[in-house]
């Protein structure tokens, strides 16, 4: 009875979650430029369009560059901060942990508007670098959370042993700490990367009038009507996210990362 | 190695870059926004420095009251729908095999990370006349003719529940995984049906978690800015949409900033309430 209930309920939730993706996938293989489901004819041409049409290609390129750079900057902010909070006893420094989590907790439009006023006031408004920094601040929460989790799972006696043998902080970090937190470092980067790739409002309010990332491009295209490239890009993004999170799950411990107490393998 | 208090100045070294970045690019912009909310709108450019309460006074209009009321109502509806769907789902998920769990978590994370633009587009397709779900109903003979289901309130609500459901599950997940399985086992041994043990044992044990989750999903839904635009009519616009609209299209930064400050205050109040609910939960 319980097993049947579970199957039925999982099935219904699964259907709800996958239905839009199934329909968009169907729409994306239409032969002509029509919004029709079930698809009329079959063509993968709209996937090619992402790479052959210069507008879509440059939006894709802008999105991937932005995501790769901003996730890296987010890591550069999160790693020393998480290390310091783990290594030192300085309660007042927790305020920075709070600051790192705040942008992600507040409604995104607030962070976006704050950054827009800031860049407009300082005169950098519209420059590509502003989007990288804005996204790094907006998504710093993710590596910060995974790294804090990573540091807290390090057995301190390992570090103590290294210190007793005469290793200094730098050596300990490089030879003991870094290898142990590497999975958390990578998953933090992956989370920030995927979310930055999909982010709209912060990107729009910082560089929306000078550049197009893919979400901005899709939204702008939506206003002028429909092109099947939107559908193929959507499927591409779903595939990218599923692949990256699949890899995180394959090489890391996803239930633990998401807060389950310990793994059961 | 014990955690030691920093002794030398150089011990603070690792903190410089993160602290600097967070102060310059988060605290300062935030302060700038608060300052701008008191500025006067300059029709020629962005704004001119001043100290007026006009932007806040505009809140008192009927129009603003309606938008605020609708935003809160929509967010409450989304939060309730998501929690009602997610609590049994997450409970079943937390009891499933590890492999099943991982698979679902990957799927949930993938959908959670999807751009609002993409979710909006996907649902507008699903609700469209030519490619939408009504075609399926026509095929099954339930309906005579395919119709467009958006723009409408139902479309906005459905898409927002879709967007917030993975978030709700992931917020509930840690608490449910940690829930002592012997609780339900005891109830089952004493003869309660699975359904009954779920509603009489699991749900009451999680009361505070559920309250905290409701508030978190509410805040999450309050932040939705594109779905009401893509799938709704102008009367379905929320505070977040209005802020974007004022900032970008009406170029009225001071008013947008004032609304944003107001939204922050609402959110912070709710976060405080969540923390309070959590504390009470631990104490109990």
CA atoms in the 13 A half-sphere facing the CB of B249 = 5
Q: Can you give the pLDDT at residue A102? A: 85
pLDDT reading at B85 higher than 90: yes
* DSSP-derived secondary structure for A94-159: HHHHHHHHHHHHS-HHHHHHHHHHHHHHHT-TT-HHHHHHHHHHHHTHHHHHHHHHHHHTS-HHHH
pLDDT reading at B49 higher than 80: no
**Structural domains in chain B plus CATH codes:** 49-283 (1.10.3720.10)
Q: With an 8 Å Cβ cutoff, is B154 touching chain A?
A: no
CA-CA distances (angstroms) from residue A144 to A76, B151, B190? Answer: 10, 39, 45
Residue of chain B whose alpha carbon sits nearest to that of A21:
B122
Question: B113–A215: do the CB atoms touch at under 8 Å?
Answer: no
Task: State the ipTM, two decimals.
Answer: 0.84
Q: CB-based burial of residue A79 (10 Å sphere; 0-12 exposed, 13-18 middle, 19+ buried)? A: buried
Beta-carbon count within 10 A of A210 CB? 12
Structure confidence by residue, pLDDT tens digits, A55-65: 889 999 999 99
Q: Can you give the pLDDT at residue A80? A: 92
In this prediction, residues A65-89 reach a mean pLDDT of 92
Strand partners, B206: none
3-state secondary structure A154-181: CCHHHHHHHHHCCCCHHHHHHHHHHHHH
Greatest alpha-carbon span in chain B: 79
Q: With an 8 Å Cβ cutoff, is A237 touching chain B?
A: yes
**CA of B62, closest CA in chain A: separation in Å?**
23
Q: Domain map of chain A by residue range? A: 62-227+251-257
- How far is it, in rounded angstroms, from Cα A31 to Cα B131? 14
Residues of A in contact with B128 (CB under 8 A): 35
Question: B125–A23: do the CB atoms touch at under 8 Å?
Answer: yes
∠ CA B213-B167-A190, rounded to 5°: 135
The residues near B32 (Cβ < 8 Å, ≥ 6 apart) are A114, A117, A118, A121
Contact B27, B18 (CB under 8 A): no
Residues of B in contact with A108 (CB under 8 A): 223, 225
- Cis ω for the linkage preceding B151 (within 30 of 0): yes
Question: A78–B18: do the CB atoms touch at under 8 Å?
Answer: yes
Contact B130, A261 (CB under 8 A): no
Q: Can you give the pLDDT at residue B169? A: 92
Q: With an 8 Å Cβ cutoff, is A105 touching chain B?
A: yes
- How far is it, in rounded angstroms, from Cα B14 to Cα B23? 15
Q: With an 8 Å Cβ cutoff, is B140 touching chain A?
A: no
- Cis ω for the linkage preceding A38 (within 30 of 0): yes
Q: With an 8 Å Cβ cutoff, is B102 touching chain A?
A: yes
Average pLDDT, chain B: 83
Question: B33–A254: do the CB atoms touch at under 8 Å?
Answer: no
The percent of residues in chain A predicted with pLDDT above 90, rounded, is 24
Structure confidence by residue, pLDDT tens digits, B101-147: 899 999 999 998 888 888 888 888 888 877 777 777 777 777 777 77
Q: Closest Cα to residue B78, out of B262, B197, B172, B219?
A: B219
pLDDT reading at A197 higher than 70: yes
Q: Which helix (H) or strand (E) holds B166?
A: helix B153-178
Greatest alpha-carbon span in chain A: 71
Q: Which of residues 127-186 of A touch B (CB under 8 A)?
A: 133-134, 136-137, 140, 156, 159-160, 163, 172
Q: CB-based burial of residue B97 (10 Å sphere; 0-12 exposed, 13-18 middle, 19+ buried)? A: exposed
- How far is it, in rounded angstroms, from Cα B260 to Cα B256? 6
Average pLDDT, chain A: 86
Minimum-distance CB partner of A9 among B14, B26, B88: B88
Minimum-distance CB partner of B106 among A195, A231, A242: A242
Dihedral angle computed from the Cα positions of residues A29, A35, A40 and A46, in that order, rounded to the nearest 10 degrees: -30
* DSSP-derived secondary structure for B216-233: HHHHHHHT--SHHHHHS-
Residues of B in contact with A171 (CB under 8 A): none
Q: Which residue has the higher pLDDT, B267 or B89?
A: B89
pLDDT reading at B281 higher than 60: no
Residue of chain B whose alpha carbon sits nearest to that of A107:
B223
Q: Closest Cα to residue A192, out of A58, A54, A100, A265?
A: A100
Q: Can you give the pLDDT at residue B45? A: 60
pTM over 0.90: no
Residues of A in contact with B32 (CB under 8 A): 114, 117-118, 121
Residues of A in contact with B130 (CB under 8 A): 34-37
Contact A77, A140 (CB under 8 A): yes
Judged by average pLDDT, the poorest of A76-80, A193-197, B65-69 is B65-69
3-state secondary structure of B40: strand
The residues near B42 (Cβ < 8 Å, ≥ 6 apart) are B48
CA atoms in the 13 A half-sphere facing the CB of B114 = 37
Does the domain made of A62-227+251-257 have the CATH classification 1.10.3470.10? no
- How far is it, in rounded angstroms, from Cα B87 to Cα B94? 10
Rg over alpha carbons for chain B, rounded to the nearest Å, is 24
Residues of A in contact with B148 (CB under 8 A): none
Residues of B in contact with A78 (CB under 8 A): 18
CA-CA distances (angstroms) from residue B9 to A80, A95, A168, B131, B269? Answer: 16, 19, 17, 65, 37
Minimum-distance CB partner of A109 among B92, B130, B225: B225
Q: Can you give the pLDDT at residue B43? A: 65
Residues of A in contact with B30 (CB under 8 A): 114
Q: With an 8 Å Cβ cutoff, is A90 touching chain B?
A: yes
Structure confidence by residue, pLDDT tens digits, A218-241: 888 888 877 888 888 889 989 999
């Amino acid at each position: 009875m319980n097993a049947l209930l579970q199957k039925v309920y999982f099935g219904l939730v699964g259907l709800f979650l996958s239905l839009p993706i199934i329909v968009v996938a169907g729409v994306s293989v239409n032969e002509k430029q029509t919004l029709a489901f079930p698809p009329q004819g079959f063509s993968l041409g709209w996937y090619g369009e992402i790479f052959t049409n210069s507008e879509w290609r440059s939006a894709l390129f802008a999105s991937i560059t932005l995501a790769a750079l901003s996730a890296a900057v987010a890591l550069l902010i999160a790693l020393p901060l998480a290390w310091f909070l783990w290594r030192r006893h300085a309660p007042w420094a927790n305020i920075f942990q709070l600051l790192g989590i705040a942008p992600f907790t507040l409604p995104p439009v607030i962070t976006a508007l704050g950054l827009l006023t800031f860049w407009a006031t300082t005169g950098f408004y519209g420059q590509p670098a502003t989007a990288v920094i804005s996204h790094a601040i907006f998504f710093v929460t993710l590596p910060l959370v995974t790294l804090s989790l990573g540091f807290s799972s390090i057995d301190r006696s390992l570090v103590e042993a290294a210190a007793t043998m005469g290793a200094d902080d730098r050596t300990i970090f490089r030879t003991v700490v870094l290898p142990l937190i590497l999975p958390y470092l990578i998953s933090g980067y992956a989370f920030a990367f995927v979310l930055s790739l999909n982010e709209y409002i912060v990107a729009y309010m910082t560089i929306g009038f000078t550049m197009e990332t893919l979400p901005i491009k899709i939204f702008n295209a939506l206003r002028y009507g429909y092109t099947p490239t939107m559908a193929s890009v959507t499927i591409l993004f779903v595939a990218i996210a599923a692949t990256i999170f699949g890899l995180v799950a394959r090489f890391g411990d996803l239930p633990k990362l998401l807060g389950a107490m310990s793994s059961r393998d | 190695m014990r955690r030691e208090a920093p002794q030398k100045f150089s011990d603070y070294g690792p903190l410089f870059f993160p602290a600097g970045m967070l102060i310059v690019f988060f605290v300062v912009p935030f302060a700038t926004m608060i300052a701008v909310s008191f500025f006067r709108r300059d029709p020629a450019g962005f704004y001119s420095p001043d100290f007026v309460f006009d932007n806040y006074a505009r809140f008192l209009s009927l129009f603003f009251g309606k938008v605020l009321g609708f935003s809160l109502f929509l967010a409450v509806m989304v939060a309730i729908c998501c929690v009602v769907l997610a609590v049994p789902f997450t409970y079943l998920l937390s009891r499933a095999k590890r492999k099943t769990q991982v698979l679902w978590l990957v799927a949930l994370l993938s959908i959670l990370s999807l751009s609002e633009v993409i979710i909006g587009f996907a649902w507008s397709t699903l609700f469209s006349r030519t490619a939408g779900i009504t075609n399926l109903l026509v095929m099954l003979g339930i309906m005579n003719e395919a119709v467009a289901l958006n723009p409408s309130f139902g479309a906005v609500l459905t898409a927002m529940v879709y967007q917030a459901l993975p978030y709700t599950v992931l917020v509930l997940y840690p608490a449910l995984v940690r829930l002592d399985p012997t609780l339900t086992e005891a109830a089952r041994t004493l003869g309660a049906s699975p359904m009954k043990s779920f509603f009489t044992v699991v749900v009451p044990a999680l009361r505070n978690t559920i309250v905290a989750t409701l508030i978190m999903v509410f805040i999450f839904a309050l932040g939705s800015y594109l779905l009401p635009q893509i799938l709704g009519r102008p009367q379905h616009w929320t505070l977040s949409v209005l802020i974007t609209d004022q900032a970008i299209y009406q170029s009225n930064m001071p008013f947008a900033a004032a609304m944003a400050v107001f939204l922050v205050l609402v959110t912070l109040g709710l976060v405080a309430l969540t923390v309070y609910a959590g504390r009470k939960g631990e104490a109990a």
